[in-house]
Amino acid sequence: MSERKKNIFSDKKIVSRAIKDSFLKLNPRTQVKNPVMFMVFVSAILTLAMFGFALAGVRDADPGYILAISVILWFTVLFGNFAEAIAEGRGKAQADALRAGRRDTMASRIPSPGQKDKITQVKSTELKKGDIVYIKAGEQIPADGDVIEGAASVDESAITGESAPVIRESGGDRSAVTGGTTVISDWIVVEISSNPGEGFMDKMIAMVEGASRKKTPNELALQIFLVALSIIFLLVTMSLYSYSLFSSREAGMADPTSVTNLVALLICLAPTTIGALLSAIGIAGMSRLNQANVLAMSGRAIEAAGDVDTLLLDKTGTITLGNRQADAFIPVDGNDEKDLADAAQLSSLADETPEGRSIVILAKERFGIRGRNMEELQARFVPFTAKTRMSGIDYNGNEIRKGAADAVKRYVEEHGGTFSSECTQTVTRIAGQGGTPLVVARNGRVMGVVELKDIVKQGVKEKFADLRKMGIRTIMITGDNPLTAASIAAEAGVDDFLAEATPEAKLEMIRDYQSKGHLVAMTGDGTNDAPALAQADVAVAMNTGTQAAKEAGNMVDLDSSPTKLIEIVKIGKQLLMTRGSLTTFSIANDVAKYFAIIPALFMGLYPGLGALNIMGLHSADSAVFSAILYNALIIVALIPLALKGVRYREVSAAQMLRGNLLVYGLGGIVIPFVAIKVIDVLITALGFVGKGGPC
């Protein structure tokens, strides 16, 4: 976790690579991909050419001043390149680590699962979809596939970063394996599901290093808006030059407005700040998702996550703990509750299942019952088997059994006891409410029932309340009956639930919400989840899930944590907030730069404009120099914010907008006023710019 929070600028390797890439990105074919910064690039070339002409005697300003403006413009371009390169840096470093962990291996290809003795050694790069391979302990899985026979512990730290091995087995929803991971025990037979170069690791490398990143629709729309603004300012600047020529001739004055200053004016008024940071914001958003161990198949999915207003969440493992816990001891037939708890605890001391451990804990919490001296009791534990469906303990001539109602009933009747109607009714009631009844009997006589319940995770209700503040509706999906589902939904604080859920019911619900204009997100791991995942706007497939689920989703959670969906939504919203906030700040900056430059440029022609020179800047040249220097430096200052993202809070959209306008709107006006004035005072005091230009 500490690694994730580490400042990217502290990594010298990433920074040095970003500096190098900043110069490599000066290639015109790269620059033209960002029209706003391409305009700065062209302006830097133009002013550099004007400096050359000025040295030759063709000048409209002092050569030193022109050179200073040109240098600042070049730095503006480089700072914009650096912002994008440093955002790409973490992804490239991760991609390098993934490549280093990969190696071409030899694979044991077999004709069929039943012919493990007929092995053909082939290179992993030669394997094709449909090939079958036999993998033993210590061998690397050569390519993506599905386990069709066997079970094994697999080290997936190469892709998840987690050192703990995971179980992969045939059948069920944990059959998918990833090329580049390692089998550390037992053996498996895998059917390859991807061709060379199309595997999960290949896609992951391409995504994290940004090689396959495409601009999202929102990003393209914003870029078109920024280009339109830039064109407007270009036309305004060209008009101002013509206007100044005409006005100066009419007034019988020399032209006071140089082309150099007008070029600088254009760059200052154009939305260069957000133009320089736009790509970095998008790349950093994807990087934050990668740090959360989530692989997004497209930037569009991240943006969609930010706009999601409906979340579909599985009950088990997401809202509840996933393992049923003992909740109550219910005695029957006149037995005492403490005696029931004592018997249930004794029978569970050797039970290492979560349910068994929870019975021991509940007995201790309710009645202070603790462990016993097994030697004194001469105890012999009876393990649970699929045949008996019971477990228990024999001690000092006594027998205690705990298990399913029908199994204990059969045991009691075999020992001459009776299974009372009271016990039957208790079992039926617990089962009807979605709980699991475990009947406890001692010496052939029923004592009572232990009720196991789904336990809602601590803090889940508060999380859902936060989501509600954000305008996000939460829906719990469960296979439980409606009565149990309603009870858990109320306890967890979700807005709605879908009980007795089937793949068709999930799909229908998603389509229904989408038809009403909602954006829907959901998680899934099984083949039966694939249709719903394919339909959802944001579909998070578990890495442990089937290949069908992964292919249907537009995100893959490498940690396979169902609760990750909430974090993904927050990252998506943070991306949109960061882009919106910095756009607001960039455009607000133009207001201050307008008051800094326009009055200073034209006060010579129209002294009345001095009233608009509210900053009291020293001269036209110092005003332009200060504004364009601020324009370059603010890009550098905002790079950490673009990479980290604007702080996200669970508040309503209206509150979020007010905060954005106050901090980045008003701040975007005030900060340039202060900064430009400070720069003007400093450069004037140091003698860099005088009345006639630089000294």
Q: 5 — phi, psi (to 5°)?
A: -85, -5
Beta-strand relationship, 294-296 and 132-136: unpaired
- Whether 344 and 359 have beta carbons less than 8 Å apart is answered as yes
What distance in Å separates the CA atoms of residue 539 and residue 562, rounded to the nearest whole number?
11
What distance in Å separates the CA atoms of residue 33 and residue 434, rounded to the nearest whole number?
58
Beta-strand relationship, 380-382 and 390-395: antiparallel
- Whether 219 and 267 have beta carbons less than 8 Å apart is answered as no
What distance in Å separates the CA atoms of residue 610 and residue 360, rounded to the nearest whole number?
84
What distance in Å separates the CA atoms of residue 610 and residue 525, rounded to the nearest whole number?
68
- Whether 137 and 152 have beta carbons less than 8 Å apart is answered as yes
Comparing CA positions, the residue from 493, 497, 660 lying closest to residue 573 is 660
Q: What is the DSSP letter of 648?
A: P
Q: Has 466 been annotated as catalytic?
A: no
What distance in Å separates the CA atoms of residue 290 and residue 285, rounded to the nearest whole number?
9
Q: Work out whether the CA dihedral 556, 562, 567, 570 comes out positive or negative.
A: positive
Instruction: Determine if residue 125 is left, alpha or beta; phi over 0 gives left, psi from -120 to 50 gives alpha, anything else beta.
Output: alpha
Structure tokens at 657: 């907008």
Q: 347 — phi, psi (to 5°)?
A: -70, -10
- With tokens 């919490």, the residue in question is 365
Structure tokens at 577: 């907030």
Structure tokens at 488: 């858990």
CA neighbours within 13 Å on the CB side: how many for 15? 8
Structure tokens at 463: 């999380």
- Report how far Cα 270 is from the mean position of its chain's Cα atoms: 32
The four Cα atoms 672, 264, 246, 63 give a dihedral, to 10 degrees, of: 130
Comparing CA positions, the residue from 159, 22, 134 lying closest to residue 560 is 159
Q: 4 — phi, psi (to 5°)?
A: -65, -35
Structure tokens at 409: 């009933």
Amino acid type, 556: V
Structure tokens at 420: 């009372």
Q: For helices 12-24 and 63-101, what crossing angle results, to 10°?
A: 120
Comparing CA positions, the residue from 152, 172, 248, 38 lying closest to residue 525 is 172
- Whether 624 and 597 have beta carbons less than 8 Å apart is answered as yes
- Whether 391 and 384 have beta carbons less than 8 Å apart is answered as yes
What distance in Å separates the CA atoms of residue 514 and residue 353, rounded to the nearest whole number?
42
Selecting among 314, 525, 537, 680, the annotated active-site residue is: 314
Comparing CA positions, the residue from 529, 538, 533 lying closest to residue 569 is 538
Helices (H), 445-563: 460-469, 482-492, 503-515, 530-535, 547-552
Task: Output Rg (C-alpha) for the chain, integer angstroms.
Answer: 34
Catalytic residue positions, numbered: 314
